[in-house]
Amino acid sequence: MTDDVAREAGHADPPPRMGFFTDTSVCIGCKACEVACKEWNAIPEDGLELTGMSYDNTQGLGASTWRHVAFIEQRVPAAPGGHEDVDVFDAARDLAGSPGGDQVRWLMSSDVCKHCTHAACLDVCPTGSLFRTEFSTVVVQEDICNGCGYCVSACPYGVIERRPDDGRAWKCTLCYDRLGVGMEPACAKACPTDSIQFGPLEELRERAADRVAHLHATGEGDARLYGEDPQDGVGGDGAFFLLLDEPEVYGLPPDPVVTTRDLAGMWRHAAAAAATLAALAAAGFAGRSR
């Protein structure tokens, strides 16, 4: 059931689990999602300097970039007859000729916090700053955050970051304040192509599977889903993606795993080791006493 995650977090009667499905095949790189996110959440400006990374001025997710539009340029050999051997159905791939006869394929993708089912950031937060909402999303309460940075190193996606001015951690909240009054997140509201789709997670997964099947039927054999599988290393993501290439191309880990999966076993081993040391110390003290 979609509300099991919220129930496990202590919510007695939660609504269906909500999330994002980002269809990169129709992303046009307009950055409307980045702008809407910043405006609604009053996020400080960043990314005003030229990075040398095409049109990607923000480079990656961070404390002041909760939505990041990636621009990936790929050389694609032209097919016989002068036409590229790729499906041109998608607006995501704007193909232009190059002097060598190859084509340049543009892949665009709006990245965001994944709101993991098994969220390591929640496991390691010592203050309760991070919490699971009734919508099964993961939110940072910046007024409680002490800036320890444990969540930063725990995130398998490298999403969370601390701002240098105050040291506190920040990330996407999936517009928790908007969800509470029945509104969709600002980024999804602003997306002109419906690349970012918001809704009940189970419905989004079904919709995404249909979309992949459609792309395969039209010749886009590389289309695949990323983060939708509840059996993956993080229990499935609350924000998942349709990709047109390998995850690494988009800067995503191919097989993300919750970094705290061995935490319980480590504590058990540590307790056993401490008990052994205590027993040895007691035995040594008793021996000296005799």
Q: Are residues 270 and 149 in the same domain?
A: no
Number of domains the chain contains: 2
Containing domain of residue 268, as a range?
A: 263-290
- 67-107: per-residue pLDDT in tens? 999 888 887 776 555 444 444 334 444 444 445 556 888 89
Q: Are residues 232 and 290 in the same domain?
A: no
Q: Are residues 144 and 230 in the same domain?
A: yes
Q: What is the pTM of this model?
A: 0.80
Q: What are the CA-CA distances from residue 78 to residues 26, 71, 101 (Å)? A: 22, 21, 6
Q: Are residues 39 and 160 in the same domain?
A: yes
Decide if 76 contacts 245 (C-beta within 8 A): no
Q: Are residues 237 and 269 in the same domain?
A: no
Instruction: Look at 70-79, 143-152, 183-192, 250-259 and tell me which has the smallest mean pLDDT.
Output: 70-79
Element (DSSP H or E) covering residue 97: strand 96-97
Beta bridge partners of 170: 161
Which string of DSSP letters, residue by residue, matches 98-138? -TTS-EEEEEEEEEE---BSS-HHHHH-SSS-EEE-TTS-E
Q: Are residues 173 and 242 in the same domain?
A: yes
For residue 259, pLDDT over 50 is answered with: yes
Q: Are residues 59 and 94 in the same domain?
A: yes
* pLDDT at position 45: 84
* pLDDT at position 104: 81
Q: Are residues 141 and 232 in the same domain?
A: yes
Please, what's the b/e burial string for 52-81 (b: 16 or more CB within 10 A of its CB; e: otherwise)? eeeebbbbebbbbbbbbbbbbeeeeebeee
- Stated length of the chain: 290
Q: Are residues 223 and 89 in the same domain?
A: yes
* pLDDT at position 274: 55
Q: Are residues 36 and 69 in the same domain?
A: yes
* pLDDT at position 188: 98
Mean pLDDT of 208-228: 96
* pLDDT at position 56: 78
At 273, the pLDDT band (50, 70, 90 cuts) reads: low
Q: Are residues 283 and 168 in the same domain?
A: no
Decide if 68 contacts 79 (C-beta within 8 A): no
Query: What CATH number has the domain bearing residue 93?
Result: 3.30.70.20
Q: Are residues 143 and 32 in the same domain?
A: yes
